[in-house]
Amino acid sequence: MIARPDRQADLRAPQPARSRPSGPEKAPLVVPLTGRDHWILRMLHEHRVLTTNQLADLAFPTPKIARRRLAILHDYRVLDRFRPLRTRGSAPSHWTLAPAGATVLAAEAGTSVRELGYNHQQTLAIAHSLHLTHTLGVNEWFTALTTGHDGDRGDRGRVVAWWSQTRCQRLWGDLTRPDAFGRYTHTGTTLDFFLEYDLATTALPRVAAKLHGYSELARTTGAITPVLFWVPTTIRETNTRHAVRQSWERLPDPDAVPVATAAAELLAPITDPSPADRVWLPLDTTGTSRLRLHELAAVWPRRTTPGTGIDAEHSAVTLGGQVMLAPPPPRPPTLEGR
């Protein structure tokens, strides 16, 4: 379930991890990694940090199997982990890519760890980052969308693409920096979108000003891709819509930047609530009815994909002197019971 996140202050100090012994008693680097294991490495390289619960939902039959396999990968030294301190309850393990895991990915791509852009200290810094809550929130949003169902009929859509903020920044950062890019399909309908994940910590004029970057992206590339604002409460949504609409109406071509908003507290208290549920309200709507995620495609017939290799699954490209791996699929190739 997508819940309102704890305040950042609860998450900043990770518990000290036990030191891992080195030497011959440790597992060798050459280990029998499964297809799902390789997918986990790629996901952590793409999205920086994922919790045990998120990986269990995305890739394992049960949480118990997830915990057991992730612990093995930690013993293999391809994954690192930390647990943030909380004032209430305890946090699940948070997983990041370890140097040995980055070595595996670099070898598969025929490049070096340095050219891959991996830095161990920067990777570990996410444990203390002020952006940890935001990063986890975006990843939880896509996890719920990938594993949840359509709340009205129990139908399942499919997340075809889930790109991280880092990938979006490398591709479009000179124009705009979305929190993520996604492609969602349902009953033959496809919706590409940029996600703006809001924690109500950013001033609304700054939130609204982001539309100018999306407008410039549409003008420069010809890509007309909806922007979805996800906020925690309906009060925040009302205020966001007012501020965003003022900026939207001043754009050179407002129709080139389709916008919709939704609030997390609108999700029904059901099993596996999903951002695909009937919670979306287009900015330019004249009615009050909220729509399911895939229904937004019918509201904005004027849409084009941002391109840049969205359909590529196995190729890596060099951008800015670094090798950018192809984005991993949102789900592993198989749900192996290991």
Residue 282 phi, psi (nearest 5): -60, 145
Query: Do 89 and 101 belong together in one domain?
Result: yes
Supply 243's token pair: 């501020």
Query: Do 196 and 255 belong together in one domain?
Result: yes
| Averaged pLDDT, 271-278 | 87
Q: How many domains does the chain have?
A: 2
Left, alpha or beta for 308 (phi > 0: left; psi -120 to 50: alpha)? left
Q: Does 329 fall in a domain?
A: no
Q: Does 337 fall in a domain?
A: no
Query: Do 95 and 188 belong together in one domain?
Result: no
Task: Please determine, for residue 25, whether its predicted confidence score (pLDDT) is greater than 90.
Answer: no
Q: Does 211 fall in a domain?
A: yes
| Averaged pLDDT, 129-137 | 95
Q: How far apart are CA 116 and CA 80, in angstroms?
A: 18
| Averaged pLDDT, 151-169 | 83
| Averaged pLDDT, 188-205 | 96
| Averaged pLDDT, 23-32 | 51
User: Which domain covers residue 138, as residue numbers?
Assistant: 132-299
pLDDT band at 266 (very low <50, low <70, confident <90, very high): very high
Nearest to residue 293, comparing CAs of 140, 127, 134, 155?
155
For residue 333, the model assigns a pLDDT of 86
| Averaged pLDDT, 45-55 | 98
Cβ 180 vs Cβ 165: under 8 Å: yes
Task: Please determine, for residue 255, whether its predicted confidence score (pLDDT) is greater than 80.
Answer: yes
For residue 273, the model assigns a pLDDT of 85
Q: How far is CA 152 from CA 264, 270, 294, in A?
A: 17, 11, 12
Task: Please determine, for residue 193, whether its predicted confidence score (pLDDT) is greater than 60.
Answer: yes
Residue 141 phi, psi (nearest 5): -60, -50
Query: Do 112 and 233 belong together in one domain?
Result: no
Weakest mean pLDDT among 75-89, 227-241, 298-312: 298-312
Q: Does 309 fall in a domain?
A: no
For residue 311, the model assigns a pLDDT of 52
Q: Does 251 fall in a domain?
A: yes
pLDDT band at 156 (very low <50, low <70, confident <90, very high): confident
Q: What is the DSSP letter of 135?
A: H
| Averaged pLDDT, 170-185 | 94
Q: Does 336 fall in a domain?
A: no
Query: Do 286 and 137 belong together in one domain?
Result: yes
For residue 90, the model assigns a pLDDT of 84
Q: Does 25 fall in a domain?
A: yes
Task: Please determine, for residue 219, whether its predicted confidence score (pLDDT) is greater than 70.
Answer: yes
For residue 308, the model assigns a pLDDT of 53
For residue 229, the model assigns a pLDDT of 98
Q: What is the pLDDT of residues 292-323, one digit of tens each?
A: 999 999 998 877 777 655 554 556 777 667 88
The whole-model pTM stands at: 0.87
Q: What is the DSSP letter of 131?
A: T
Task: Please determine, for residue 209, whether its predicted confidence score (pLDDT) is greater than 90.
Answer: yes
CATH number of the domain to which 31 belongs: 1.10.10.10
- 3-state secondary structure at position 321: coil
Query: Do 114 and 44 belong together in one domain?
Result: yes
Query: Do 20 and 145 belong together in one domain?
Result: no
Query: Do 274 and 168 belong together in one domain?
Result: yes
Query: Do 265 and 293 belong together in one domain?
Result: yes
| Averaged pLDDT, 5-18 | 46
Query: Do 25 and 48 belong together in one domain?
Result: yes
| Averaged pLDDT, 55-78 | 97
Query: Do 111 and 143 belong together in one domain?
Result: no
For residue 37, the model assigns a pLDDT of 97
Q: Does 222 fall in a domain?
A: yes
Query: Do 110 and 155 belong together in one domain?
Result: no
